[in-house]
Amino acid sequence: MDVTYTTPSGIEAESMRIIGAELKDRGLTLEPGTEAVVKRVIHTTADFDYAVNLRFTEGAVERAVAAFQAGASIVTDTNMAKAGVSKAALGKLGGQVHCFMADPEVAQAAKTQGTTRAAVCMEKAAREHPGAVLAVGNAPTALLKLCELMEAGLRPALVVGAPVGFVNVVESKERVLAVCGKYGVPCIAAMGRKGGSNVAAAICNALLYTALDAVDPVRRGEKLT
């Protein structure tokens, strides 16, 4: 067992070095603008499929970083994704993270409408945080609702589409990527069946660290103390 790397920053730095080496061995070259996001997701999942299945609309990273630097908040579709977002980094930029899944009014509205709480959460996000980053890591119904809302005029700072599973998952990601492209809304989507709350949070964290000029873990430690 290699015990050389014992600090969080040292472990992360070595992990990223290994990821970079394995990407090279696989013949995969990442775009400079998206590299931090892709590597962060691979770091979180140990799954190199994300090097090819993460899709970005043009300028998505740059526009999301600018939004975070201007104080944008995040709304997620799960409390797990909310827990995974770096509160220290987001707070340093003036933003907050929200999840409305446990809101009794959301639960009642979902029951009345015959839909999911995740879909109603996106309606609430559109009303209360129309310029937020909307990070979906679980429910394809949330992405499909966002498509409806964007067709009606919603323009979030970024849509993260990373639900995981088998029913409407692939279709919802394809749909949201197309709708975001149509209306010029930045989007980062994990195509196919893979995804999850951890992936949604990892994408957000990579963007937050980029916004703080703190992708390097040592520098991040200096910035967030």
**pLDDT tens digit sequence for 61-108:** 999 999 999 999 999 999 999 999 999 999 999 999 999 999 999 999
pLDDT of amino acid 206: 98
Among residues 43, 55, 124, 155, which one is catalytic?
43
**Residue-range domain boundaries for the chain:** 8-223
43 is catalytic: yes
pLDDT band at residue 222 using 50, 70 and 90 as cut-offs: confident
pLDDT of amino acid 1: 45
pLDDT of amino acid 120: 97
Q: What phi and psi, each to the nearest 5 degrees, are found at residue 71?
A: 95, 15
Cβ contact 206:41 at 8 Å = yes
pLDDT of amino acid 220: 93
pLDDT of amino acid 223: 86
What is the sign, positive or negative, of the torsion defined by CA atoms of 106, 140, 204, 184?
negative
Nearest of 41, 46, 57 to residue 18 by alpha carbon: 46
In the predicted model, what is the mean pLDDT of residues 24-28? 96
Cβ contact 120:110 at 8 Å = yes
CA 172 to chain centre: 15
pLDDT of amino acid 2: 54
- Does residue 5 register a pLDDT over 80? no
pLDDT of amino acid 11: 93
For 176-205, write each residue's pLDDT tens digit: 999 999 999 999 999 999 999 999 999 999
Rounded mean pLDDT of the chain? 95
In the predicted model, what is the mean pLDDT of residues 135-164? 97
For 53-63, write each residue's pLDDT tens digit: 999 999 999 99
What superfamily does domain 8-223 belong to in CATH? Cobalamin biosynthesis CobH/CbiC, precorrin-8X methylmutase (3.40.50.10230)
Tokens standing for 40?
Answer: 């962060």
> What percent of the chain stands above pLDDT 90?
93
